[in-house]
Amino acid sequence: MTEPEDRGTLEIAHTVVRKVAEHAAGRVPGTATVRRGPGRGAGVRVSGHGADVDLRLDLALHYPVPVPEVVARVREQVTGEVQHLTSYHVRGCAVTVSALLPETRPRVR
Dist. CA 23–CA 41, nearest whole Å: 8
pLDDT at 5 (0 to 100): 75
Dist. CA 40–CA 26, nearest whole Å: 10
Q: Quick check: bond before 68 cis, omega within 30? A: no
**Residue closest to 55 by CA, chosen among 92, 29, 81:** 92
Dist. CA 42–CA 81, nearest whole Å: 15
Domain spans of the chain, in order of start: 9-101
pLDDT at 106 (0 to 100): 63
pLDDT tens for each residue of the chain, 109 residues long: 788 778 788 889 999 999 999 999 999 999 998 765 554 568 999 999 999 999 999 999 999 999 999 999 999 999 999 999 999 999 999 999 999 998 776 667 6
Dist. CA 66–CA 31, nearest whole Å: 11
As a CATH number, domain 9-101 is 3.30.70.1350
**pTM confidence score:** 0.83
